[in-house]
Amino acid sequence: MNFHGKTILVTGGSRGIGRAIVLELAARGAQVAFTYRSQTEAALAVEQAARASGAEAQGYQADAADFEMAQAVVQQVLERFGALHGLVNNAGITRDKLLVMMKEDDWDAVLNANLKSVFNLSKAVVSTLLRRKQGGAILNISSISGVVGMAGQTNYSAAKAGMIGFTKALAKEVASRAITVNALALGLIETEMTEALGAEYRAKRLQEIPLGRFGTATEVARIAAFLLSDDARYITGQVIQADGGLAM
């Protein structure tokens, strides 16, 4: 999988899964742009790590849930790199609570960060890909929470399920233009978020995973790279579950 000459934009690329995807793509020759909200030092570290592999990389501080900011970022990427060939919608947050305890702001914040951001960036990038007339690839980082639902995550499950529906609908809209749109429905992946989980919760979840372990961000990044690559040009509208068998 060679990405030389291609530019990919990754939202939420300063840490965790987004960071791993940025570095994986850079290692495979891509020019990589990524967004981040507040962690400037982490973003600079990602830029340096990507450039160390010989790739061009640039972080953009922006809220992917803000429509105007999303449009501006895509324009800045085009001005910086000259073209865009792919998009990874990875930005997202959680605010887990039982519905009876959930505040309206908990709902709105999660839906905006996880789902509205997908609309914002996809709209801008698809318009660019259509004008370029050379195809492209969009990958949405969803969750098994959007496939089977998770108690305490009505907001997150709704957002991730919405992302899956968005993926399938957009795939049908742009397939004739050689643009693929797929989703990764992730299970429990070792990140800063899962490291914060209590030992009892982690042990319980591990018992439910047939493979007996959490996934790694590097494993996710390699799957993402494949789905964005020319090797996956005949795959579109699909939801690939990378969850160790948890939701089968």
Query: pLDDT, tens digit, for every residue of 174-184?
Result: 999 999 999 99
pLDDT at 116: 98
List the domains of the chain with CATH numbers. Answer: 7-238 (3.40.50.720)
- Return d(Cα 190, Cα 231) in angstroms, integer: 27
- Return d(Cα 167, Cα 244) in angstroms, integer: 22
**Confidence check: pLDDT of 48 > 90:** yes
Amino acid identity for residue 108 in this structure: D
> Model pTM?
0.94
**Confidence check: pLDDT of 218 > 80:** yes
Partner residues linked to 216 by β-bridges: 190
H/E segment holding residue 232: none
Strands 239-242 and 57-61: unpaired
**Residue positions annotated with a catalytic role:** 156
Contact 26, 32 (CB under 8 A): yes
